[in-house]
Structure 1
Amino acid sequence: MAAPLNLEENGPFIPIIEEKDGENTRLVPNPRRKYDEDDRKKIEKGYKAKKLLVCGIGPDEFNRFSSCESAKEIWDCLKTAHEGTEQVKESKINMLTSQYENFKMREGETIHEMFTKLSLITNELRSLGEPISMSKQVRKVIRILPKSLGK
């Protein structure tokens, strides 16, 4: 009887069988020669996922992740490299929120330039899971426009 490990939580699928040693029972990896079709399909999914991730990263990143043995390992490394740890992510969110709240239009700056800078902040916040609604962004732009534009 095979008891599969969950790929999302534990890495690659490893078929497991129960081995009895007298009164004791323990779980051990199933020998490859005893894999059934279901085992082979699950293992193949892991290899395909790893191949897709490896093909999707550039040569610089490949060198950082080439030692990873599973798609889960590669994914976790990519996630940490690009998003950082939860602490780093929280710090980025705090910094960007502060930048958004203190954002002002500079003297001599065009509306287009100002909106581009504001969009960079709001897009980064959205990518970190902290979106700012469009209506809130519009209110922010109206508040920071110079009084001279209204005349």
Structure 2
Amino acid sequence: MERYLRRLGRDIWRSVEEGLHVPVLTPVQTDGAATRLGGSQPAMSHPTKDDLNKMENDVVAFYEISCGVAPNSFDIIINCKSAKEIWDVLKNLYEGSEQAQDKKLTTTLNDFNNFKAHTGESLEDSFKRFNLIVTKLSNAGTIRNNDETNLQFLNGLGRHGTTTKMIVQGDRKIHSL
């Protein structure tokens, strides 16, 4: 969703990051006619073109996020007043608190470091499972270089992957897998 909103425009994404834009309206000097006619409120300035654009971006961001929410999650955001509020609620719902994110990262790092192919598992299935772990690490902002990743996978194959390891390491292509 973030990529989609950024593609719509950086000002749309700004609305999500910063929240609703509230224009600053200032009292306008008048000739006193409004006061003479019984008006008790001073005249206020009008929003600038920039203010109107930012307010429109807020509406677009709110609409796009609302439309992208799964029906079963809509009740959770129904009372949100801004795109930022929706985003924060959904982020907490799907990613969890910072503590929960740390726990997920620790678990994923542990899965990476202790990866082992299961008995009877095909090379392809082992790779898919390992690749999912690497993707989770990447999504969490932890990137491993190709050499480290490839060596971890090959070492995780155990004795069943000895032939594969020997071929790859013998060709010295470990960094280009």
Q: What's the TM-score, normalizing by structure 2?
A: 0.67
Q: Which residue of 1 aligns with 2:92?
A: 80
Structure 1 position 32, deviation (Å): 8.6
| Residue type at the aligned position of 1:50 | F
Offset of residue 17 of structure 1: 3.5
1:14 is aligned to 2:22: yes
CA gap 1:110/1:88 in 2 versus in 1, 3 angstroms: same
Secondary structure class of the residue paired with 1:138? helix
1:64 and 2:76 equivalent?
yes
- Give 1:36 shift: 3.1
Query: Is residue 25–residue 46 contact of structure 2 (8 Å, CA) maintained in 1?
Result: no
Aligned residue-pair number:
135
Runs of 4+ in 1 over 4 A off after TM superposition: 6-10
Per the TM alignment, residue 33 of structure 1 is displaced from its structure 2 partner at its CA by 7.8
- The DSSP-based 3-state class of the residue aligned with 2:65 is helix
Please name the residue that 1:3 is paired with. none
Q: Which has the higher strand share?
A: 1
Checking the alignment, whether the CA contact within 8 Å between 2:19 and 2:84 is kept in structure 1 is yes
1:95-135 deviation per Cα after TM superposition (whole angstroms, max 9, x unaligned): 11111111111221111111111111111111111122232
| Match of residue 47 from structure 1 | 59
Pairing 1:132-147 to 2, within 5 Å after superposition: 132-147=144-159
Range with bigger deviation, 125-134 or 88-97: 125-134
Distance in 2, matches of 1:109 and 1:118, equals 12
Q: Secondary structure at the match of 2:106?
A: helix
RMSD over aligned Cα atoms? 2.4
Structure 1: any 5+ residue segments left out of the alignment?
1-5, 20-30
Match of 2:34 in 1: none
Percent identity (aligned): 28
Hey, what does 1:113 align to over in structure 2?
125
Task: Give the secondary-structure state (helix, strand or coil) at the position aligned to 1:34.
Answer: coil
State the alpha-carbon separation in 1 of the partners of residues 132 and 15 from structure 2: 35
How far apart, in 2, do the equivalents of 1:150 and 1:88 lie?
37
- 1:66 is displaced (CA, Å) by 1.3
Q: Which runs of 5+ in 2 are unaligned?
A: 1-13, 28-42, 164-177
> Which structure's relative contact order is higher, taking Cα pairs within 8 Å and 6+ residues apart?
2
